[in-house]
Amino acid sequence: MYTTDLKYYTMRKKIIITTILLFSAVASPIFAQQDDFIKDYIERLENSRTYLILVAELMPEEKYKFKATPESSSFGENLMHIAWAMDWHCQSLLNGRDARDWNTDTTLKVADKTKEEMISTIHKTFDETIALISKFDISELNDRLDYLGLNRTKRQIFLLLADHITHHRGQMLVSLRLNGLVPPRYIFYQ
């Protein structure tokens, strides 16, 4: 009886160890890929910041109120809207902080800010966003959220934020061109 029990426990131990090793072999690359996603995303944000600041610095301050069309946002409004969106996506959606009240909070609006103050605000918002993302728990990437009535993963929220920054920066590039200014070459900031 004893040898049968010993064989059973030995076999069971081998199955458990094999299962753990197989799981580790499969799980490690998945977690490494997710960790790489965060590292790649932060690098992308840093490059995006650098390019956005170059664009913001290129536009003369007296043109920050320029609108490509009457119903468009101004150059400065697009810049500050990028800050607002980073704050909302990261601090509110991903981090659970209550969203700023768009009607009363002027921290991330143009208000009476100078060009220098707006650029400083966008730098600060990028810093806060990158700090939060660098501490992000990668096990939450597949957690789902309500995104304006759509069911999205947190990973998708990251991608939506990057798209949003690009969308509004593109509007700023049009404003530069309409004012006879040549934007910095994007190829160097990818």
The CATH number linked to 145 is 1.20.120.450
pLDDT category at 188 given cuts 50, 70, 90 is confident
Model pLDDT for residues 133-171, shown as the tens digit of each residue = 999 999 999 999 999 999 999 999 999 999 999 999 999
Residue 158 structural domain: 35-189
For residue 30, is it within any domain?
A: no
User: What percent of the chain has pLDDT above 90?
Assistant: 72
Model pLDDT for residues 24-41, shown as the tens digit of each residue = 665 545 444 457 999 999
For the chain, how many structural domains are there in total?
Answer: 1
151 sits in which H/E element: strand 150-153
Write the DSSP string, 26-82. HHHHHHHHHHHHHHHHHHHHHHHHHHHHHHHHHS-GGGTT--SSTTSPPHHHHHHHH
For residue 18, is it within any domain?
A: no
Amino acid occupying residue 126: F
Do residues 170 and 79 touch, judged by C-beta distance below 8 A?
no
Model pLDDT for residues 51-108, shown as the tens digit of each residue = 999 999 999 999 999 999 999 999 999 999 999 999 999 999 899 899 998 888 889 9
For residue 98, is it within any domain?
A: yes
For residue 96, is it within any domain?
A: yes
Q: How high does pLDDT run on average in the chain?
A: 88
